[in-house]
Amino acid sequence: MKIGEVAKRTGMTIKSIRYYHDIGLITAQRGDNGYRVYREQDIAALQFVHHCRELGFSLEDCQALLSLRNDQARTSAEVKRLAMAHLAEVDTRIRKLNTLKKELKALVDECSGDESTECAIINGLSCSNH
């Protein structure tokens, strides 16, 4: 299967698929014509990585998860440890985003949004203590 068909099947862009090849995350065989030829196992690996990326895993984590996926001797504890570390990072990002949301909402709520030149949002963004 050629890269355009793979992109359609995986929901990925051709650029992303090529990038994953360039960094060694995914490999595909080369045909006699020099083009990459994708087997079902290659497509499954790309779908796996794509799903990992949708969940916010870093490329390094994707590589580790892909290696664990392909390792018949892996333990679920290894996989869970990696996923739990990522979950902790997601929780941290959520807390930071919630703080950002509260601050931004307070600025928006303080702004009258009328024809006045006075703007609580501009004043709040100009304030150095936040």
Please state the length of the chain.
130
Please, where are the H alpha helices in 1-58?
A: 3-10, 14-22, 40-54
Does residue 130 carry a pLDDT above 60? Answer: no
Neighbours of 52 (CB within 10 A): 20
Single-letter residue type at 53: R
Single-letter residue type at 50: H
Give the chain's domains with CATH numbers: 3-74 (1.10.1660.10)
pLDDT above 70 as % of the chain: 98
Burial zone of 20 (CB within 10 Å; 0-12 exposed, 13-18 middle, 19+ buried):
buried
Q: Nearest 10 degrees: CA dihedral of 37, 41, 44, 48?
A: -110
Long-range contacts of 90-97 (CB under 8 A, 24+ apart): 90/56
Look at residue 34 in the predicted model and tell me its pLDDT: 84
Look at residue 49 in the predicted model and tell me its pLDDT: 96
Strand 36-37 with 29-30, pairing:
antiparallel
Look at residue 128 in the predicted model and tell me its pLDDT: 64
pLDDT tier at 1, thresholds 50, 70, 90: confident
Residue 1 tokens, joined:
């299967």
pTM of the model: 0.80
